[in-house]
Amino acid sequence: MASLPLRGLVPMAHVLDVLRSIEFYRQLGFSTRNQLEHDGNLVWAWMESGRAHLMLTRSNGVINSEEQAVLFYLYAPDVAAYRAELIERGMAVGPITHPPYMPEGEIRIEDPDGYVLLVGQSDSVSL
């Protein structure tokens, strides 16, 4: 079977309030690449930060953070500095841990809808 290469993968998260989520991800360094309104309501947005991309789409119902079955893994060249900057902005950020798969360090953040974001230290990741 011939293999057709994909150009990329962009996760799309269902969120209760797209604008609230945009503001949260802006605190992480993302900017809005595109957005869509329908009947005067913001229903979708594409966020990006460097080579990291995320789409947000309005949920039809309440998001149950206990049932989130996906997490987002991000990379930063200096996790300690990134963590300090987020704390300065008033964000809740977990401590730096050093799991076996990320001995350089990793932090945990939760977005307003309960999605888990792990940020690992790496300046050599090329996606």
Domain range annotation of the chain:
12-61+70-121
User: Fold for domain 12-61+70-121?
Assistant: 2,3-Dihydroxybiphenyl 1,2-Dioxygenase; domain 1 (3.10.180)
Give Cα separations from 100 to 62, 95, 103, 120 (angstroms). 35, 16, 6, 12
Q: Return per-residue pLDDT of the chain as tens, 127 residues.
A: 456 676 777 999 999 999 999 999 999 999 999 999 999 999 999 999 999 999 999 998 887 777 777 889 999 999 999 999 999 999 999 999 999 999 999 999 999 999 999 999 987 655 5
pTM for the whole thing? 0.84
